[in-house]
Structure 1
Amino acid sequence: MSDSSAPPIEVEGLTKYYGDVRGAEDLTFTVERGDIFGFLGPNGAGKSTAIRVLLGLLAPTEGDAWLFGNDVTDRAELLEAKRRLGYLPSDVAFYDRVSGEEILDYFGRIRGDDRREELLERFPVPLERDVKAYSSGNRQKLAIVATFMHDPDLAIMDEPTAGLDPLVQNEFYEFLDERQAQGKTSFLSSHVLSEVRRICDRVGIIREGRLIALEEVGELLAESGTVVHVRLAEEPPLEALEFPGVSSIDRDGDAYHLVLSREYDALVDRLHEYTVEDLEVREASLEDVFMHFYGGEDENEDEDVPDGDVEPAATDGGG
């Protein structure tokens, strides 16, 4: 049963295989009350697999997961947790031959709609029209209203701003900030790095089903330090520019790109040996951090799960 002191999300050794295909492996992390937690990784990394296990849509191969202290593999406990949950999937799908108002009426009867009118003012949609006539942006706004109108303590979201224009995206970010101020928790999967930097407190980075980083956003950026782009008259080999503090280095023609932990003196000493034609030094961005973990991988790779495991309904996780 729900424990008021339990974290909204707790995962320990969570593993999911589809036959011989790895979806997620040995994931361990905790999302505390009031967190806005970003779950990062390109398509195919295992983000959606982990979310489906949390929602009880998939059974884990090994490991455990809890929502508010409720075991997600126990049907009665999962139902108890879902009373406090809102779910916004990456592929929003509604019945096309019903109106937006009928959709919200349906979800409202299931779990409540205290914040419905307020949310419709912030994310307006043509309620009288059938959903088949909606643009992708209106479908996403309808899903946002359906997800949050019962004021859930925890929202689990998979690419929540897909299809939204920049103004609506900013409104959504402000809404999540307000939820956080009220002690509500948000967990979102995303590969939009500017979005993660804007709203998240902590991030988990997943690669090939494994969690490879779990840190506060600010700490992750601080550890990545400095990015240096330098063009030299000479053409030294990459190893000639390596020194303690350099975490990565590559070359494009006569331009060298280094990521280092603010070892400015060592950088100056090393560059003194060459003729510097151009030099740019800047603080690392979240994009730099991401490429450090994923450099060279195809972010458009398909998710490594069977199509039949994709959740079709917009907010089934909340009811």
Structure 2
Amino acid sequence: GEIFGFLGPNGAGKTTAIRCMMDFIRPTATRLSSSKSCEIKLFGINSTAANFHLSREKIGYLIPAANLVGSWNGKDHFSYKESLFGKSKNLSDLIQRFDFNPKLKVKTLSTGNQQKLGLILALMNEPKLLIMDEPTVGLDPILQEEFYKILREFSAKDVAVFMSSHNLPEVEKICSRVAMIKSGKIVSVQKISALEGKKLHTVRVTFAEKVAENELADKDVEIIDQIDGGYILAVKHEIDPFIKKLAKFKIESISISQANLEEIFMEFYK
């Protein structure tokens, strides 16, 4: 029932990783060795195995808008999926909650309504795992909140959710853990609560006399900007040792603020 976030800037490799998970494309090698092949297993079955369809039957996958059939309407898409996976028990409820008109052809739908259709298709057959790439693109704030509510309801029923996003507030709001990806490589996997507890401070300080950068910077202190008479610095871990270091200088002004979650995340992408 975990809601797991897959966070990274555009181009980091999120969509490619998800396409590999679904066996739409196949990984050829790890970064460690070109002689080693990557292996992805869902529900214990390798994604490249002949019987991977047994895993796919348990997965609700958010279909990209480009893969919807333009000449079909929503009803056509729902009927096709039910022909493959059986009658949906929650389809009517999802249509109502997403305020979706299933009679309109896909090619006439806005980006937001195409996204609604993709989400309903992913959610309509009681999956055990949801895999979603940027699921709230095109949704207005009210529908985003409704979508988060639906995800929490699925999570409470022990449905696992794997969702990619470049939207930090979204990940912070809905996910319990997050993997951060940079240039195709996972740089960290963290609990959101653990990230929120990390020590990172921003210090703005001015001095009565000139102080050189090398007198302040060290492995835990980074100079972000130079200002009139001083600096803006980022201080990792505990702030007290840096304050003691500052005590030997003549300080005119100083302000200290704890970094927000976005600033903490950005540390992983430097």
| TM-score exceeds 0.5 | yes
Counterpart selection for 1:72 from 42, 47, 50:
47
Query: 1:154 aligns to what?
Result: 129
Q: Deviations over 1:140-195 (max 9, x none)?
A: 11111111000100001111100111111111111111111111100011110001
The alignment status of 1:275 with 2:251, answered yes or no, reads: yes
Query: 1:218 aligns to what?
Result: 193
TM-score, reference length from structure 2: 0.87
Q: How many residue pairs end up in the alignment? A: 257
**CA–CA separation in structure 1 for the residues paired with 2:252 and 2:72:** 65
Aligned CA distance change for structure 1 residues 177 and 291 (closer, same or farther; 3 Å): same
Query: 1:201 aligns to what?
Result: 176
Aligned CA distance change for structure 1 residues 251 and 237 (closer, same or farther; 3 Å): farther
Per-residue deviation at 1:67?
0.5
TM-score, reference length from structure 1: 0.75
Letter in 2 for 1:266: P
Counterpart selection for 1:96 from 70, 73, 79:
70
Counterpart selection for 1:256 from 211, 218, 232:
232
The alignment status of 1:123 with 2:98, answered yes or no, reads: yes
The alignment status of 1:186 with 2:161, answered yes or no, reads: yes
**CA–CA separation in structure 2 for the residues paired with 1:111 and 1:66:** 21
Q: Deviations over 1:43-69 (max 9, x none)?
A: 222212211111011222112111010
Per-residue deviation at 1:235?
5.2
**Whose Rg is larger?**
2
**CA–CA separation in structure 2 for the residues paired with 1:79 and 1:39:** 24
Per-residue deviation at 1:289?
2.3
**CA–CA separation in structure 2 for the residues paired with 1:134 and 1:158:** 20
Aligned CA distance change for structure 1 residues 114 and 250 (closer, same or farther; 3 Å): same
Kept after mapping to 2: 8 A contact 1:159/1:188: yes
**CA–CA separation in structure 1 for the residues paired with 2:159 and 2:13:** 25
Aligned CA distance change for structure 1 residues 280 and 68 (closer, same or farther; 3 Å): same
Q: Deviations over 1:1-43 (max 9, x none)?
A: xxxxxxxxxxxxxxxxxxxxxxxxxxxxxxxxx2211111112
**CA–CA separation in structure 1 for the residues paired with 2:194 and 2:223:** 21
Query: 1:167 aligns to what?
Result: 142
Aligned CA distance change for structure 1 residues 106 and 235 (closer, same or farther; 3 Å): farther
After superposition, residues 55-70 of structure 1 pair within 5 angstroms as 55-61=22-28, 62-70=37-45
Query: 2:81 aligns to what?
Result: 107
Q: Deviations over 1:283-310 (max 9, x none)?
A: x333112211224xxxxxxxxxxxxxxx
Question: What percent of counterpart residues are identical?
Answer: 35
SS in 2 for 1:279: strand
**CA–CA separation in structure 1 for the residues paired with 2:17 and 2:210:** 46
Kept after mapping to 1: 8 A contact 2:100/2:116: yes
Letter in 2 for 1:46: G
Letter in 1 for 2:8: G
**CA–CA separation in structure 2 for the residues paired with 1:89 and 1:231:** 51
Query: 2:31 aligns to what?
Result: none
Query: 2:115 aligns to what?
Result: 140
Query: 2:32 aligns to what?
Result: none
Kept after mapping to 2: 8 A contact 1:230/1:276: no
Kept after mapping to 2: 8 A contact 1:92/1:140: no
The alignment status of 1:51 with 2:18, answered yes or no, reads: yes
The alignment status of 1:39 with 2:6, answered yes or no, reads: yes
Kept after mapping to 2: 8 A contact 1:90/1:160: no
Per-residue deviation at 1:243?
5.1
Aligned CA distance change for structure 1 residues 60 and 93 (closer, same or farther; 3 Å): closer
**CA–CA separation in structure 1 for the residues paired with 2:143 and 2:65:** 18
Aligned CA distance change for structure 1 residues 294 and 108 (closer, same or farther; 3 Å): same
Kept after mapping to 2: 8 A contact 1:87/1:156: yes
Query: 2:201 aligns to what?
Result: 227
Per-residue deviation at 1:229?
3.4
Aligned CA distance change for structure 1 residues 252 and 173 (closer, same or farther; 3 Å): farther
